[in-house]
């Protein structure tokens, strides 16, 4: 069953109004409410401005890439952050706002992005006090490094699905 979420550091969002996108590849005249599917939710279980490289296995991922990018055979998703964000990650509380899926349509299959053009009221809200524990619970491999740039280039050249978030904040 499809589950869709919005992740925020804000504790009391009651209504999500469509916002005009800033991305150049989208119609900038149509407001959208963004949501992430549960499979890609780990990509957003970090402080909002935290730069991160995330990646996950897909049907075309080679065994060589699985062995290269994961230290545990059971993991199929990874989140890599810079060491300078470790304390903030430990001390950030996130709220997961769950939406009814009826008004949403798939915007990006690899990223797990869904959009709605109508105002949305969350059907549930969950508080996440320990981001590391939440990632571990979801069987996500967590990597901490001094800089993200090398792993970003390596993962972009791999057969994994990947996402680079907030890289403007990376060292």
Q: List pLDDT tens digits, range 45-78.
A: 999 999 999 999 999 999 999 999 999 888 999 9
Q: What is the pLDDT of residues 107-137, one digit of tens each?
A: 999 999 999 999 999 999 999 999 999 999 9
Are 114 and 35 within 8 A, CB to CB?
yes
Predicted confidence at residue 53, as pLDDT, reads 98
Q: Which two tokens stand for residue 37?
A: 């599917």
Residue 43 DSSP label: G
- Pairing state of beta strands 77-82 and 140-145? parallel
Residue 14: partners with Cβ closer than 8 Å, 6 or more residues away: 121, 122
Is 90 exceeded by the pLDDT of residue 23?
A: no
- What mean pLDDT do residues 17-23 have? 92
Q: Which two tokens stand for residue 158?
A: 């791999």
pLDDT band with cut points at 50, 70 and 90 for residue 153: very high
Burial of 113 (0-12, 13-18, 19+ CB in 10 A): middle
Percentage above 90 pLDDT, the chain: 93
Are 78 and 52 within 8 A, CB to CB?
no
Exposure class string for 83-107: b at 16+ Cβ within 10 A, else e:
eebeeebeebebbbbbbebebbeeb
pLDDT band with cut points at 50, 70 and 90 for residue 106: very high
- Pairing state of beta strands 77-82 and 94-99? unpaired
Single pTM value for the model: 0.93
Q: Domain spans of the chain?
A: 4-169
The phi-psi region of residue 110 (left if phi > 0; otherwise alpha if psi is between -120 and 50; otherwise beta) is alpha
The per-residue pLDDT of the chain, averaged, comes to 96
Predicted confidence at residue 107, as pLDDT, reads 94
């Amino acid at each position: 069953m499809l589950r869709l979420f919005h992740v925020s550091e804000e504790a009391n969002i009651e209504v999500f109004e469509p916002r005009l996108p800033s991305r150049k590849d989208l119609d900038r005249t149509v407001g959208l409410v963004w949501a992430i599917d549960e499979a890609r939710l780990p990509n957003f279980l970090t402080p909002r401005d935290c730069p991160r490289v995330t990646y996950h296995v897909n049907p075309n991922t080679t065994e060589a890439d699985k062995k290269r990018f994961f230290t545990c055979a059971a993991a199929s998703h990874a989140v890599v952050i810079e060491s300078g964000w470790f304390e903030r990650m430990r001390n950030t509380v996130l709220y997961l706002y769950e939406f009814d899926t009826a008004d949403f349509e798939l915007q990006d299959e690899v990223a797990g992005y869904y959009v709605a053009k109508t105002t949305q009221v969350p059907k549930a809200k969950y508080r996440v006090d320990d981001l590391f524990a939440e990632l571990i619970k979801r069987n996500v491999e967590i990597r901490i490094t001094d800089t993200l740039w090398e792993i970003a280039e390596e993962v972009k050249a791999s057969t994994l699905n990947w996402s680079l978030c907030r890289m403007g904040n990376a060292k």
